[in-house]
Amino acid sequence: MTQLNLQRVGLRYGDAAALIDASACFESGQLVALVGPNGAGKSTLLGVCAGLADPSDGIVCLDDAPIGSLKFAARARRISYLPPDGRSAWALKVHTIVALGRVPHLKPLRRLSARDEAAIKEALDRAGVSHLSDRRFDTLSSGERARVLIARSLSTQADVLLLDEPTAALDPKHQLAVMEILKAEADRGRLVIVAAHALELVARYADRVVVLQDGVIREDGPPATSLSEAVVRDVFGVTAPGGVVPTRLELL
């Protein structure tokens, strides 16, 4: 079982505290949602979990090893991080974009092996984008791009998937499609941690919800408790009588 363990983690940028005394243990087989207002610390927490930012206080461990002690390639094989911008710097074909997820497994100057190609094909299939394999990334819709980038993360075959706002700017159909993919990966045994704003999607799909406010973990538990009427009112400043109830939209 994979564990990502944060022990009293804090992160400061100058005099500003972005994360304060954050402690949590995340385990494989979970879909964990990070929610909170803008600036609450969701992206910061993901960055710390990915090893992209060194905590000012505390420690983050992957299983028993501090994140900072892992060599870059070893960490990249275990943890896949998807940033929020949803872009590619080059007009590459989808297959090439997804193949980038295999880079941590490649030795210098080595070509993709049969094992790499099998991982790429499996990732394309799981993300539902096999039919786009020969298309250029810049010709795709935003929903298609989101699934291709998830496929890139899946091709790494990492134990931990960290995704920052993967459903942002997507229509309801593509939001559901993305969350279905992520839930399926958690059910397969991966640890999936996703920063999100759509509380109705979080309530429907997440096994566990971490609510952040001003850099502090305010709540950590199942949606029914983390997204209670009182929490939603106090943290987000909106009303949700009876708690957040997910809408029952279904994929056709």
Q: Domain boundaries in the chain? A: 3-236
How far apart, in whole angstroms, are the C-alpha atoms of residue 100 and residue 124?
Answer: 13
Residue 85 binned pLDDT confidence (cut-offs 50, 70, 90): confident
Q: Which of 211, 88, 65 is nearest to 146 (CA)?
A: 88
The residue among 122 and 15 whose pLDDT is bigger is 122
pTM of the model: 0.92
Q: What is the mean pLDDT of residues 52-76?
A: 93
Q: Are 31 and 194 in contact (CB under 8 A)?
A: yes
pLDDT of residue 135: 97
What count of other Cβ atoms lies within 10 Å of the Cβ of residue 83? Answer: 17
At residue 164, what are phi and psi to the nearest 5 degrees? -105, 105
pLDDT of residue 237: 87
Q: What is the percent of the chain with per-residue pLDDT over 70, rounded to a whole number? A: 93
What is the tens place of the pLDDT at every residue in 177-224? 999 999 999 999 999 999 999 999 999 999 999 999 999 999 999 999
How far apart, in whole angstroms, are the C-alpha atoms of residue 65 and residue 78?
Answer: 12
Query: Fold for domain 3-236?
Result: Rossmann fold (3.40.50)
Question: Is residue 250 pLDDT above 70, yes or no?
Answer: no
DSSP, residue by residue, 36-88: -STTSSHHHHHHHHHTSS--SEEEEEETTEEGGGS-HHHHHHHEEEE-SS---
Q: What is the mean pLDDT of residues 92-98?
A: 96
What is the tens place of the pLDDT at every residue in 116-165? 999 999 999 999 999 999 999 999 998 999 999 999 999 999 999 999 99
Q: Are 81 and 101 in contact (CB under 8 A)?
A: no
How far apart, in whole angstroms, are the C-alpha atoms of residue 172 and residue 215?
Answer: 29
Question: Is residue 63 pLDDT above 60, yes or no?
Answer: yes
Q: Which two tokens stand for residue 110?
A: 């080595």
